[in-house]
Structure 1
Amino acid sequence: MIWEKFIGSEIGLSAWRRGAACRGGSVKTSSETNRHFPAQTKAQIGRVWARISAPDPNRPVLQAFQVKAPDRHEASVGRSGMSMPVPPKGIPPAFGCTIHEKETTMSHTDSTEFVLAGVVMKRLLCGQQTAGQFCLFENRSDGNTKTPIHVHAKDDETVYIIEGELKAVVDGQPQRLAAGESIFLPRGLAHQLMNTSGKPCRYILIGTPALFDRFLEEAGHERRPDEVVGPPTPAEIERLREAAPRFGITLLSDWPPAE
């Protein structure tokens, strides 16, 4: 099955091993992990995958793939590159995120939408649902968005483009990402994501470990019904600036740039 390949990737298996070691459990090989992986978790991940890869004639279909963990001091771009840590059974309450009118168990996905820096971010999984190992978002940019140049001290990010294109400025070097391409952004590396193409872009964002989901709740806002999302207001910019240091995020330049 494609998800057995997906969750058996080196990055996912590494995260599983770390979690098992912390819990005092045994560490299994990749083949053992695939054979004995809990059916409940397979079903949970499968439902998320079905939602983000449903057939759509207007966009490419996501493919399952594997990738080796890149050097933590370099960003890697390629036609394959997204990998998920494997969530263990059991959900400690310490990795809290707010899920309205839903049980916070592994049998449910989330669909709450937030707005940050003009980007709509749909939360698919938060840290409370993955024992803090990762959070998962489907993001949408209308074609005129920029994040501040920033550095994460406590978490890594992985981006996979579903449709459209995105420009990632990594350590001062611009890199164009088209549909089907991905990039790994390790902590400690300055980066910026922007879409100035004038066309919509949809992409998957994975934060490891789960930290960005809690940052988003404080730095952004939950999207209101019928809200038309535009450039961030001065109040939204100030809220982002205030929240960033609490989650190990450093903003490196004036943002948004002066006109």
Structure 2
Amino acid sequence: MTSNMTSDVAQPLFRAPGTGPALDVLGVTHSYKAMASETGQQFSIWESIVPPGRGAPAHTHSREDEAFYVLSGEVLMDVEGAADPLRLGPGAFVFAPRHRRHGYRNAGTDTARLLVFAMPGAGLDRMFAAFAELAKQNGRMPPIQSVAPIAEQHGVVIHSSAD
């Protein structure tokens, strides 16, 4: 039996520890294990290295689901539908489906590490690259109000603390 291969079919991928593309996304390092362009646009997976006090502001995706697995450290995560913020330590897992507001921050004193999955991932890969480029151009972390329009172009709404 032969298969019909097309250019968008993913090829096997291996990354050694400490290798792969990395982006600075609002003060959180994303170390990519697989980008959507490498998985036939099916998903992206990255390790988020989250300094104390940093994280992702409350936001809602219209195109992607996200899943978070805590490797080390501690994060507080708000997910629409949970009664209270979730305090997550190593081994904890959260699925945040599209159209559900969520956000997190490192609540501990040590750097937290999360494995984050986005399905599909192409829009987020491009959005995070645009955030990183804006920070590089400005020489500092961009304010939320300057990244919100970029996020909206990728189907993501960043909520203000008043939302």
Match of 1:112 among 12, 17, 21: 21
Unaligned runs of 5+ in 2: none
User: CA deviation digits over 1:144-170, x for unaligned, max 9?
Assistant: 213221100110000001111111111
1:196 match: 107
SS of 1:218's partner is helix
Change (3 A) 1:237 1:220: farther
| Structure 1 residue identity aligned to 2:12 | M
Higher helix share: 1
Match of 2:130 among 215, 218, 221: 218
Distance 1:146 1:137 in 2: 14
2:144 match: 237
SS of 1:148's partner is strand
The correspondence of residues 157-176 of structure 1 with structure 2, limited to 5 A, is: 157-171=66-80, 173-176=84-87
| Structure 1 residue identity aligned to 2:91 | G
User: CA deviation digits over 1:37-87, x for unaligned, max 9?
Assistant: xxxxxxxxxxxxxxxxxxxxxxxxxxxxxxxxxxxxxxxxxxxxxxxxxxx
Higher relative contact order (CA 8 A, sep 6+): 2
Unaligned runs of 5+ in 1: 1-24, 26-88, 94-103, 225-231
Aligned partners of 2:11 and 2:39 also within 8 Å: no
Higher strand share: 2
Distance 1:123 1:107 in 2: 12
Change (3 A) 1:136 1:223: farther
Pairwise CA distance, 1:91: 4.8
State the identity %. 21
Please tell me whether Structure 1 or Structure 2 has the larger radius of gyration of its CA atoms: 1
Aligned partners of 1:90 and 1:131 also within 8 Å: no
CA RMSD of aligned residues (A): 2.8
Pairwise CA distance, 1:242: 2.3
Aligned partners of 1:165 and 1:195 also within 8 Å: yes
Count of aligned pairs between the two proteins:
150
Pairwise CA distance, 1:92: 1.6
SS of 1:149's partner is strand
Distance 1:236 1:115 in 2: 14
Pairwise CA distance, 1:113: 1.1
Aligned partners of 1:160 and 1:205 also within 8 Å: yes
| Structure 1 residue identity aligned to 2:66 | E
The correspondence of residues 25-36 of structure 1 with structure 2, limited to 5 A, is: none
| Structure 1 residue identity aligned to 2:41 | G
